[in-house]
Amino acid sequence: MAAQSTAKTSATKAEAKKPPDAKETKPAAGAKPLNLEQKLVEIRKAIPALPKEKRSDGVKYSFNRIDDIYRFLTPAMNEQHVNLKITGETATRHAENGDEIFYSAYTQHTSNGYDRQVWVYESDIEVTWVDADNPEDRQAVTLHAIGTNDGGPDKAKGSALTYCLKYYLFEMLGIDQGADDPDNTEHISERPQSQSRPQQTATQNGQQGQQAPRKLTEAQIGRLYRKAEDAGMSREQCAARIKQLYQCDDPADLTRDQYDSICRQLDEARTGTP
Protein backbone atom coordinates (compact mmCIF):
# COMPACT_ATOMS: atom_id res chain seq x y z
CA MET A 1 0.00 0.00 0.00
CA ALA A 2 2.87 2.38 0.82
CA ALA A 3 4.46 1.66 -2.55
CA GLN A 4 1.19 2.37 -4.37
CA SER A 5 0.75 5.60 -2.43
CA THR A 6 4.29 6.71 -3.30
CA ALA A 7 3.72 5.90 -6.98
CA LYS A 8 0.48 7.91 -7.04
CA THR A 9 2.22 10.84 -5.34
CA SER A 10 5.08 10.76 -7.90
CA ALA A 11 2.60 10.62 -10.77
CA THR A 12 0.72 13.59 -9.34
CA LYS A 13 3.94 15.60 -9.07
CA ALA A 14 4.96 14.69 -12.61
CA GLU A 15 1.62 15.85 -13.95
CA ALA A 16 2.00 19.09 -12.03
CA LYS A 17 5.30 19.81 -13.85
CA LYS A 18 3.66 19.73 -17.30
CA PRO A 19 3.11 23.16 -18.84
CA PRO A 20 -0.51 24.10 -18.14
CA ASP A 21 -0.94 25.52 -21.63
CA ALA A 22 0.78 22.67 -23.49
CA LYS A 23 -2.38 21.69 -25.34
CA GLU A 24 -3.01 25.26 -26.39
CA THR A 25 0.20 25.34 -28.46
CA LYS A 26 -1.46 23.15 -31.10
CA PRO A 27 -3.08 25.00 -34.00
CA ALA A 28 -6.74 25.61 -33.45
CA ALA A 29 -9.10 23.46 -35.50
CA GLY A 30 -9.92 25.13 -38.78
CA ALA A 31 -6.95 27.53 -38.59
CA LYS A 32 -5.57 28.58 -41.96
CA PRO A 33 -2.37 26.62 -42.73
CA LEU A 34 0.87 28.48 -43.41
CA ASN A 35 1.92 28.96 -47.01
CA LEU A 36 5.50 28.32 -48.15
CA GLU A 37 6.64 31.91 -47.67
CA GLN A 38 5.34 31.90 -44.10
CA LYS A 39 6.98 28.55 -43.40
CA LEU A 40 10.32 29.89 -44.64
CA VAL A 41 9.99 32.74 -42.16
CA GLU A 42 9.47 30.20 -39.35
CA ILE A 43 12.48 28.24 -40.56
CA ARG A 44 14.62 31.38 -40.56
CA LYS A 45 13.56 32.09 -36.96
CA ALA A 46 14.86 28.66 -35.93
CA ILE A 47 18.40 29.24 -37.26
CA PRO A 48 20.70 30.84 -34.64
CA ALA A 49 23.80 32.93 -35.25
CA LEU A 50 26.70 30.74 -36.40
CA PRO A 51 30.00 32.49 -35.61
CA LYS A 52 32.88 31.29 -37.75
CA GLU A 53 35.29 28.93 -36.03
CA LYS A 54 38.94 28.06 -36.48
CA ARG A 55 38.93 24.43 -37.58
CA SER A 56 42.61 23.44 -37.41
CA ASP A 57 46.09 24.80 -36.74
CA GLY A 58 46.89 24.44 -40.44
CA VAL A 59 44.20 26.93 -41.44
CA LYS A 60 44.83 30.43 -40.14
CA TYR A 61 41.31 31.76 -40.71
CA SER A 62 37.89 30.83 -39.30
CA PHE A 63 34.95 29.59 -41.36
CA ASN A 64 31.68 27.67 -41.28
CA ARG A 65 30.91 24.36 -42.96
CA ILE A 66 27.64 23.59 -44.70
CA ASP A 67 27.02 20.94 -42.01
CA ASP A 68 26.87 23.76 -39.45
CA ILE A 69 23.80 25.07 -41.30
CA TYR A 70 22.15 21.69 -41.83
CA ARG A 71 22.44 20.93 -38.11
CA PHE A 72 19.71 23.53 -37.49
CA LEU A 73 18.10 23.80 -40.92
CA THR A 74 17.09 20.14 -41.32
CA PRO A 75 15.05 19.91 -38.07
CA ALA A 76 13.36 23.22 -38.87
CA MET A 77 12.46 22.03 -42.38
CA ASN A 78 11.11 18.77 -40.97
CA GLU A 79 8.95 20.65 -38.47
CA GLN A 80 7.52 22.92 -41.16
CA HIS A 81 7.17 20.15 -43.79
CA VAL A 82 9.39 21.93 -46.32
CA ASN A 83 11.78 20.28 -48.78
CA LEU A 84 14.75 21.76 -50.65
CA LYS A 85 15.61 20.05 -53.93
CA ILE A 86 18.10 20.50 -56.77
CA THR A 87 15.67 20.48 -59.69
CA GLY A 88 17.89 21.41 -62.63
CA GLU A 89 21.39 22.06 -63.89
CA THR A 90 22.67 23.67 -67.07
CA ALA A 91 26.15 24.31 -68.41
CA THR A 92 27.44 27.84 -68.70
CA ARG A 93 29.93 26.96 -71.46
CA HIS A 94 29.59 25.02 -74.69
CA ALA A 95 31.90 23.43 -77.23
CA GLU A 96 31.91 24.55 -80.87
CA ASN A 97 29.54 21.70 -81.73
CA GLY A 98 27.10 22.81 -79.03
CA ASP A 99 27.94 20.14 -76.44
CA GLU A 100 27.69 21.30 -72.82
CA ILE A 101 30.96 21.76 -70.95
CA PHE A 102 30.89 21.33 -67.18
CA TYR A 103 34.55 20.44 -66.56
CA SER A 104 37.85 21.99 -67.55
CA ALA A 105 41.40 21.79 -66.23
CA TYR A 106 44.54 23.89 -66.15
CA THR A 107 48.12 23.45 -64.96
CA GLN A 108 49.20 25.46 -61.94
CA HIS A 109 52.87 26.19 -61.30
CA THR A 110 53.48 26.07 -57.57
CA SER A 111 56.14 27.83 -55.49
CA ASN A 112 57.57 24.39 -54.62
CA GLY A 113 58.74 23.96 -58.19
CA TYR A 114 56.26 21.34 -59.37
CA ASP A 115 53.17 21.52 -61.54
CA ARG A 116 49.74 20.25 -60.63
CA GLN A 117 46.53 19.82 -62.58
CA VAL A 118 43.58 21.74 -61.20
CA TRP A 119 40.05 20.75 -62.21
CA VAL A 120 37.30 23.33 -62.56
CA TYR A 121 33.56 22.59 -62.43
CA GLU A 122 31.04 25.27 -63.41
CA SER A 123 27.28 25.29 -63.97
CA ASP A 124 24.00 27.01 -63.16
CA ILE A 125 21.86 24.95 -60.79
CA GLU A 126 18.20 25.38 -59.98
CA VAL A 127 17.18 24.74 -56.38
CA THR A 128 13.52 24.64 -55.36
CA TRP A 129 11.79 25.03 -52.01
CA VAL A 130 8.64 22.87 -51.88
CA ASP A 131 5.81 22.90 -49.35
CA ALA A 132 5.24 19.19 -48.67
CA ASP A 133 1.69 19.94 -47.48
CA ASN A 134 0.93 21.70 -50.76
CA PRO A 135 3.50 20.62 -53.40
CA GLU A 136 2.19 23.17 -55.89
CA ASP A 137 3.44 25.94 -53.59
CA ARG A 138 7.11 26.18 -54.49
CA GLN A 139 9.91 28.68 -55.06
CA ALA A 140 12.77 28.11 -57.50
CA VAL A 141 16.02 30.05 -57.74
CA THR A 142 18.99 29.70 -60.10
CA LEU A 143 22.47 29.74 -58.56
CA HIS A 144 25.87 29.89 -60.24
CA ALA A 145 28.22 27.18 -59.00
CA ILE A 146 31.96 27.08 -59.62
CA GLY A 147 34.62 25.10 -57.80
CA THR A 148 38.18 23.90 -58.20
CA ASN A 149 40.14 20.97 -56.84
CA ASP A 150 43.35 19.17 -57.73
CA GLY A 151 41.95 15.86 -56.50
CA GLY A 152 39.88 15.17 -59.62
CA PRO A 153 36.74 16.37 -61.43
CA ASP A 154 34.41 14.75 -58.89
CA LYS A 155 35.94 16.75 -56.05
CA ALA A 156 35.75 19.93 -58.13
CA LYS A 157 32.00 19.34 -58.58
CA GLY A 158 31.57 18.68 -54.87
CA SER A 159 33.41 21.90 -54.07
CA ALA A 160 31.26 23.88 -56.50
CA LEU A 161 27.95 22.62 -55.13
CA THR A 162 29.01 22.92 -51.49
CA TYR A 163 30.24 26.51 -51.77
CA CYS A 164 27.25 27.53 -53.86
CA LEU A 165 24.61 26.09 -51.53
CA LYS A 166 26.39 27.18 -48.36
CA TYR A 167 26.54 30.85 -49.28
CA TYR A 168 23.06 30.85 -50.76
CA LEU A 169 21.69 29.51 -47.47
CA PHE A 170 23.69 32.03 -45.43
CA GLU A 171 22.24 34.89 -47.49
CA MET A 172 18.70 33.52 -47.89
CA LEU A 173 18.31 32.72 -44.19
CA GLY A 174 20.13 35.85 -43.00
CA ILE A 175 22.49 33.85 -40.77
CA ASP A 176 24.77 35.98 -38.62
CA GLN A 177 28.34 34.66 -38.86
CA GLY A 178 29.82 37.25 -36.52
CA ALA A 179 32.65 37.94 -38.97
CA ASP A 180 35.09 40.67 -38.11
CA ASP A 181 37.56 42.44 -40.36
CA PRO A 182 41.11 41.86 -39.08
CA ASP A 183 42.40 44.38 -41.59
CA ASN A 184 40.74 47.18 -39.65
CA THR A 185 43.27 46.69 -36.86
CA GLU A 186 46.03 46.40 -39.45
CA HIS A 187 45.28 49.90 -40.77
CA ILE A 188 45.25 51.35 -37.25
CA SER A 189 48.58 49.82 -36.29
CA GLU A 190 50.37 50.52 -39.56
CA ARG A 191 49.57 54.19 -40.08
CA PRO A 192 51.22 55.64 -36.94
CA GLN A 193 54.38 53.61 -37.62
CA SER A 194 54.74 54.82 -41.20
CA GLN A 195 54.04 58.42 -40.22
CA SER A 196 56.25 58.54 -37.14
CA ARG A 197 59.47 57.36 -38.81
CA PRO A 198 59.72 58.98 -42.25
CA GLN A 199 63.42 59.76 -41.76
CA GLN A 200 64.34 56.08 -41.93
CA THR A 201 63.77 56.04 -45.70
CA ALA A 202 66.44 58.69 -46.42
CA THR A 203 70.20 58.24 -46.77
CA GLN A 204 72.88 60.55 -45.37
CA ASN A 205 73.38 62.33 -48.71
CA GLY A 206 69.69 63.22 -48.89
CA GLN A 207 68.72 60.64 -51.53
CA GLN A 208 65.54 58.67 -51.02
CA GLY A 209 66.23 55.12 -49.88
CA GLN A 210 64.33 51.93 -50.68
CA GLN A 211 62.49 49.98 -47.99
CA ALA A 212 62.28 46.24 -48.35
CA PRO A 213 58.72 45.22 -49.30
CA ARG A 214 56.70 43.99 -46.35
CA LYS A 215 54.96 40.66 -46.52
CA LEU A 216 51.25 40.61 -45.83
CA THR A 217 50.34 39.55 -42.30
CA GLU A 218 48.50 36.35 -41.39
CA ALA A 219 45.46 38.46 -40.51
CA GLN A 220 45.46 40.01 -43.98
CA ILE A 221 45.84 36.63 -45.68
CA GLY A 222 43.00 35.26 -43.53
CA ARG A 223 40.83 38.22 -44.56
CA LEU A 224 41.69 37.60 -48.23
CA TYR A 225 40.70 33.93 -48.05
CA ARG A 226 37.47 34.76 -46.21
CA LYS A 227 36.55 37.19 -48.95
CA ALA A 228 37.32 34.49 -51.52
CA GLU A 229 35.16 32.03 -49.60
CA ASP A 230 32.34 34.57 -49.43
CA ALA A 231 32.61 34.97 -53.21
CA GLY A 232 32.26 31.21 -53.69
CA MET A 233 35.96 30.51 -54.36
CA SER A 234 38.23 27.96 -52.74
CA ARG A 235 41.71 28.85 -51.50
CA GLU A 236 43.22 27.07 -54.50
CA GLN A 237 41.05 29.02 -56.90
CA CYS A 238 41.93 32.30 -55.19
CA ALA A 239 45.65 31.49 -55.36
CA ALA A 240 45.32 30.61 -59.05
CA ARG A 241 43.58 33.94 -59.69
CA ILE A 242 46.38 35.83 -57.92
CA LYS A 243 48.96 33.90 -59.95
CA GLN A 244 47.13 34.79 -63.17
CA LEU A 245 46.80 38.49 -62.35
CA TYR A 246 50.10 39.25 -60.64
CA GLN A 247 52.44 36.31 -61.42
CA CYS A 248 52.73 35.87 -57.66
CA ASP A 249 53.11 32.33 -56.29
CA ASP A 250 52.66 33.33 -52.63
CA PRO A 251 49.73 35.67 -51.77
CA ALA A 252 51.80 37.01 -48.86
CA ASP A 253 54.13 38.62 -51.43
CA LEU A 254 51.38 40.79 -52.92
CA THR A 255 51.94 44.53 -52.70
CA ARG A 256 49.43 46.51 -50.69
CA ASP A 257 47.89 47.92 -53.88
CA GLN A 258 47.56 44.43 -55.37
CA TYR A 259 46.07 43.14 -52.11
CA ASP A 260 43.50 45.95 -52.00
CA SER A 261 42.66 45.36 -55.66
CA ILE A 262 42.04 41.61 -55.33
CA CYS A 263 39.99 42.17 -52.15
CA ARG A 264 37.88 44.71 -54.03
CA GLN A 265 37.36 42.25 -56.90
CA LEU A 266 36.25 39.54 -54.47
CA ASP A 267 33.79 41.93 -52.83
CA GLU A 268 32.35 42.79 -56.25
CA ALA A 269 32.10 39.09 -57.14
CA ARG A 270 30.19 38.42 -53.92
CA THR A 271 27.73 41.29 -54.32
CA GLY A 272 27.44 41.10 -58.10
CA THR A 273 28.43 44.76 -58.56
CA PRO A 274 30.64 45.70 -61.53
pLDDT by residue (tens digit) across 215-246? 777 777 778 887 887 777 888 888 888 888 88
Contact 121, 146 (CB under 8 A): yes
CA distance linking residue 68 with residue 55, whole number of Å: 12
For 241: left if phi > 0, alpha if psi spans -120 to 50, otherwise beta; the answer is alpha
**Residue 28, pLDDT score:** 56
Give the Cβ contact number of residue 61 at 10 Å.
Answer: 18
Closest by alpha carbon to 239, among 220, 262, 255?
A: 262
In whole angstroms, how far apart are CA 206 and each of 98, 199, 210? 66, 10, 13
**Angle 81-25-172 (CA atoms, 0-180°, nearest 5)?**
40
Q: Is the pTM of this model over 0.95?
A: no
Q: Spell out the domain ranges in the chain.
A: 215-274
Contact 264, 228 (CB under 8 A): no
pLDDT band at 8 (very low <50, low <70, confident <90, very high): very low
Mean pLDDT for 57-76 is 82
pLDDT at 78 over 50: yes
**Residue 37, pLDDT score:** 96
